[in-house]
């Protein structure tokens, strides 16, 4: 089996819900990546999760048996830091997030401060408190720009769905009255960053993901092809609801990663 639209030369592959659930690899993830490598098909791992550095993401994948290198990883944290550094080089940034976001901001030459920031950048923060919410709302209401790494309301995990960065953002938006500039899927900056890394036109790239609202919508908005795998947020049961809520449909829908591999690589590899 190899039935895909012509012209797709490379793939942007989501992680959470597509290749793994928490520490658990989704069946077929290792074989998909191995097949892509064997057939020399270019790809990048593209994740909205801002909590890990690219090095940590690669290590997490390797620990599950999925071949990965840090330079193959594009995170919303790195894309957010690049976006801010290009628009406001060396500015003062208040970071609401975890290791991946902090490291990306430092590497981009931005000043991380605890007060009077030019920019408030927020990602997933599993230690988020009422005090943090209060400070963020006050800074933003006083004129600081608000950048959101990604809008995911929920994240798939081994034990079920958990609140994502978008849920935290909903509280900050309610308290500040300001909508953020969004970096991660389905917004353009992360996609633009990843496509540029491949050095291809958007029409030559396809997105593989489990979430119609983020992965597939991002691919559609960017002009990429799209492959939906029913391994995470979107399932066979809720697919009609997600099509309705997202307003998008994938070019190709696969029941699992074995089917994704067969569609891209054929029965070999």
What does 172-234 look like in DSSP terms, one character per residue? HHHHH--PPEE-STTSHHHHHHHHHHHTS-GGGEEEEES-IIIIIHHHHHHT-EEEEETTSSS
Please report which helix (H) or strand (E) contains residue 131, including its range. Answer: helix 130-141
Residue matched to tokens 């969004």 = 182
Residue in the structure block whose two tokens are 């401060």: 113
**Crossing angle between the packed helical segments 257-265 and 29-38, to the nearest 10 degrees:** 10
- 125 is a catalytic site residue: no
Cα separation, 166 vs 172, whole angstroms:
10
The residue with tokens 């909205």 is 48
Whether 256 is a known active-site residue: answer: no
d(CA 228, CA 260): 9
How distant is the alpha carbon of residue 252 from its chain centre?
A: 20
Beta bridge partners of 45: 13, 73
215/222 Cα distance (integer angstroms) = 11
Tokens of 191: 């996609």
Residue 2, Cβ density class (10 Å: 0-12 exposed, 13-18 middle, ≥19 buried): exposed
Looking at the annotation, which residues are catalytic?
14, 16
């Amino acid at each position: 089996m190899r039935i895909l639209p012509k012209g797709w030369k490379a793939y942007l592959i989501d992680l959470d819900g597509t290749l793994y659930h928490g520490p658990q690899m989704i069946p077929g993830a290792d074989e998909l990546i191995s097949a892509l490598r064997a057939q020399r098909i270019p790809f990048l791992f593209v994740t909205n999760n801002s909590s890990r550095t690219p090095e940590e993401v690669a290590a997490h994948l390797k620990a599950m048996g999925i071949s990965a290198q840090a330079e193959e990883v594009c995170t919303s944290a790195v894309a957010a830091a690049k976006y801010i550094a290009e628009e406001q080089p060396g500015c003062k940034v208040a970071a609401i997030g975890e290791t991946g976001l902090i490291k990306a901001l430092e590497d981009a030459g931005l000043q991380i401060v605890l007060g009077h920031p030019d920019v408030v950048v927020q990602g997933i923060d599993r230690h988020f408190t009422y005090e943090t919410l209060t400070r963020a709302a006050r800074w933003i209401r006083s004129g600081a720009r608000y950048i959101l790494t990604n809008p995911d309301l929920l994240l798939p995990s081994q034990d079920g769905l958990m609140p994502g960065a978008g849920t935290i953002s909903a509280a900050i938006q309610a308290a500040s009255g300001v909508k953020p500039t969004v970096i991660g899927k389905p917004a353009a900056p992360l996609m633009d960053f990843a496509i540029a890394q491949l050095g291809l036109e958007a029409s030559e790239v396809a997105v593989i993901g489990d979430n119609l609202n983020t992965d597939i919508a991002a691919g559609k908005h960017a002009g990429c092809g799209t492959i939906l795998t029913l391994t995470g947020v979107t399932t066979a049961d809720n697919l009609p609801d997600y099509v309705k809520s997202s307003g998008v449909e994938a070019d190709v829908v696969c029941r699992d990663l074995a089917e994704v591999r067969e569609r891209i690589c054929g029965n070999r590899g």
